[in-house]
């Protein structure tokens, strides 16, 4: 009985070894050089993406600043027009100093 168990155990070990050999060819482990190259490439791509994102963000911020300046100018003009319509100021007075009165355009 002991001999039979040893033979059965030996067969199991041989089958396991053959399965390991079959799977070993399918599993490849990259060398450390390949891993380092891949890691460096990934870092480079990440840095490039980060730089592009920062540049795009700065461009958007500049456009927003431009829009805000234009909006302020338009608001000032609308304030002057509204005051003229109300008859509270003359054209020359409006040209000399900006409107102090808060109008609905400022609230928008």
Phi, psi values for residue 90, rounded to 5°: -90, 165
One pLDDT digit (tens) per residue for the chain, 108 residues: 667 777 888 888 888 877 777 666 655 655 678 878 888 999 999 999 999 999 999 999 999 999 999 999 999 899 888 888 887 655 555 555 555 555 565 665
Rounded Cα–Cα distance for residues 44 and 34 (Å): 15
Write the pLDDT tens digit of every residue in 60-78.
Answer: 999 999 999 999 999 989 9
pTM of structure = 0.46
Residue whose pair of structure tokens reads 């460096």 in the numeric block: 40
> Which residues contact residue 38 at a Cβ distance below 8 angstroms, ignoring those fewer than 6 apart?
30
For 12-63, give the secondary structure using H, E and C.
Answer: HHHHHHHHHHHHHHHCCCCCHHHHHHHHHHHHHHHHHHHHHHHHHHHHHHHH
């Amino acid at each position: 009985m002991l001999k039979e168990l040893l033979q059965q155990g030996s067969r199991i070990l041989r089958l396991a070894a053959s399965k390991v050999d079959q799977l070993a060819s399918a599993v490849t482990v990259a060398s450390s050089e390949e891993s380092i190259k891949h890691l460096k490439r990934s870092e480079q791509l990440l840095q490039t993406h980060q730089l592009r994102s920062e540049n795009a963000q700065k461009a958007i911020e500049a456009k927003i600043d431009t829009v805000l300046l234009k909006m302020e100018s338009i608001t000032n003009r609308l304030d002057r027009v509204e005051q003229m319509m109300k008859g509270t100021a003359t054209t020359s007075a409006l040209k000399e100093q900006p409107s102090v009165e808060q109008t609905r355009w400022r609230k928008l």
